[in-house]
């Protein structure tokens, strides 16, 4: 290990590190990167509808592993990026497209296509020379995403871990039709009742998801190798094989495929700190996280939009508020 003296005067002999947090609807991921951008720690947790508790839990776990490290920058991303940003005191709050692109370009510097399929949504990012050239997110429903695969695996009685291998055993995948999850499911049931073999159905499902993905998210995109496949679904060998078949090119799945958003957030934080010329991170510190955080919401009756305004409190102090379309509650 390379010793990083860093800002020795300010923080003792602590090595500098960067924290990235990706709060999604299904999973919350945390990573700690060293100054070179290598992963020191990574955590993959279920959000379970309670992002604040999950962030606190994750931070408690990391606090021990990260002792002796100085958090020089903190970045958040994902659908809960603002919430996480406020709680942690993030230096950089970024959308997940940018975060995934940055992480992918770090791992595979010449990457030109990123396929990302997570729990609730999917995206494609086209890069050239390390910069985003084009992108798209799913516009239809969650039929191509991780939650759907989990659900169908459950319905077929296949453990999700074995889903991928099973798909690889198929010789003649069946064709499954369906624009949305409900229709795909009913067509799948129909195929099952016609007597098709389970591995063929599983493989057919993978192919259907890949086809839907390429025809919706990937439509009109200039997909060129190297292609990187990341997000929780990248663990599924059946999906990877279906992509390789459809695109006729090998697909790389990075080592930390399921926390790439968090890695990107940490890298973006490092970039941000660097751009403002160093200085201390806005990070509240690991101790602060034991504070009592609470989110509460109320319906604003100011107009028929009836916006649900969310209050984030640390102890008794309101530290953030958002959710109104008109913005009248945003300042306090």
Partner 1 sequence: MKVTFAHMGNLYITVRALLEDLGAEVVVPPMPSKRTLSIGSRHSPEFACLPLKVNIGNYIEAMELGADTIAMAGGVGPCRFGLYGEVQKEILTALGYKFEMIIVEPPQGRLRHVLQQVGRLVGRNPVGRYVRAARLAWAKMTAVDELERLAQAARPFEGHRGAATAALASALELVDDAGSPARVKRALEEGREVLRAAREPGGGNSDPPRIGIVGEVYVVLEPFVNCEVERRLGEMGVLVERSIYIGDWVREHLLKDVLRLRKGRRPYELAKPYLCHFVGGHGVETVGSTVEYARQRFDGVIQLAPFTCMPEIVAQDVLPAVSRDLGIPVMTLVFDEHSSDAGVITRLEAFVDMVERSRRRRASRG
Partner 2 sequence: MGEVVGIPRALLYYHYYPMWKVFFESLGQTVVTSGPTTRAVVDAGIKVTVDEACLPVKVFHGHVLALAGKCDYVFIPRLVSVERRAFICPKFMGLPDMIRCNCRDIPRIIDSCINLSRTTREYMRAVYSTGRMFTGSALRILASHNRARTALARYTRHIEGGLTPDEAMAVMGMAPSFDEPAHGTVAAASSSGGGPAAAMGAGRVVVGLVGHPYIIYDPFVSMNVLRRLREMGVTVVTSDMLPAAVTEREAARFPKRVFWTLGRRLLGAGFHFLRSGAVHGCLHMRAFACGPESLIGEVLERECARRRDVPFATITVDEHTGEAGILTRLEAFVDVIARRRKP
* Residues forming the site for partner 1 (CB under 8 A): 79, 94-98, 131-135, 137, 139, 220, 303-306, 325, 327, 330-331
Contact 138, 150 (CB under 8 A): no
Grouping H, G, I as helix, E, B as strand and the rest as coil, residue 47 is: coil
* Residue written as token pair 């609807």: 25
Among 318, 320, 325, 319, residue whose Cα is nearest residue 299: 325
Region from 70-78, 88-96, 173-181, 280-288 binding partner 2, contact rule CB under 8 A: 173-181
Q: Considering beta carbons, is residue 132 or 223 the nearer one to partner 1?
A: 132
Region from 146-154, 209-217, 276-284, 314-322 binding partner 2, contact rule CB under 8 A: 209-217
CB of 200 to partner 1, least distance (A): 34
> 310-313 contacts: CB < 8 A, separation 24 or more?
312/83, 312/86, 312/87
Among the listed residues 60, 155, 179, 328, the single contact to partner 2 using CB under 8 A: 179
Using CB distances below 5 to 8 A depending on partner kind, what does residue 171 bind out of partner 1, partner 2, none? none
Residues in the chain: 332
Contact 204, 176 (CB under 8 A): yes
183 binds partner 2 (CB under 8 A): yes
Among 291, 292, 297, 294, residue whose Cα is nearest residue 322: 297
Region from 56-64, 160-168, 215-223, 321-329 binding partner 2, contact rule CB under 8 A: 215-223
- Give dist(CA 36, CA 166) in Å, integer: 39
187 binds partner 2 (CB under 8 A): yes
Residues lying near partner 2 in the complex (CB under 8 A) are found at: 139-140, 175, 177-179, 183, 186-187, 190, 212, 215-216, 219-220
């Amino acid at each position: 290990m390379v010793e990083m003296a860093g800002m020795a005067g300010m923080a003792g002999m602590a090595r500098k590190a960067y924290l990235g947090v990706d709060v999604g609807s299904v999973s919350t991921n945390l990573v700690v990167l060293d100054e070179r951008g290598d992963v020191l720690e990574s955590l993959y947790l279920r959000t379970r509808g309670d992002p604040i508790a999950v962030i606190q839990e994750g931070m408690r776990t990391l606090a021990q592993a990260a002792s002796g490290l100085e958090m020089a920058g903190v970045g958040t991303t994902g659908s809960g990026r603002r919430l996480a940003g406020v709680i942690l005191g993030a230096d950089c709050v970024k959308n997940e497209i940018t975060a995934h692109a940055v992480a992918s370009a770090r791992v595979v510097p010449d990457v030109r296509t990123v396929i990302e399929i997570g729990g609730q949504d999917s995206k494609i990012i086209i890069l050239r020379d390390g910069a985003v050239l084009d992108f798209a997110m799913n516009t239809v429903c969650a039929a191509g995403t991780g939650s759907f695969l989990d659900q169908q695996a459950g319905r077929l009685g296949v453990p999700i871990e074995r889903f991928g291998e099973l798909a690889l055993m198929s010789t003649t995948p069946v064709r499954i039709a369906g624009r949305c999850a409900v229709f795909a499911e009913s067509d799948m049931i129909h195929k099952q009742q016609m007597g098709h073999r389970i591995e063929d159905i599983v493989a057919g499902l993978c192919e259907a998801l890949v086809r839907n993905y390429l025809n919706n998210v990937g439509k009109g995109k200039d997909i060129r190798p190297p292609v990187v496949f990341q997000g929780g679904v990248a663990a599924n060998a059946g999906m990877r094989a279906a992509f390789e078949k459809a695109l006729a090119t090998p697909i790389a799945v990075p080592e930390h495929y399921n926390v790439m958003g968090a890695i990107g957030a940490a890298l973006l934080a490092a970039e941000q700190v660097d751009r403002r010329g160093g200085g201390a991170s806005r990070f509240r510190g690991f101790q602060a996280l034991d504070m009592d955080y609470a989110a509460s919401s109320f319906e604003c009756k100011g107009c028929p939009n009836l916006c649900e305004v969310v209050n984030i409190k640390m102890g008794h102090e309101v530290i953030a508020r958002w959710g109104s379309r008109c913005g009248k509650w945003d300042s306090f």
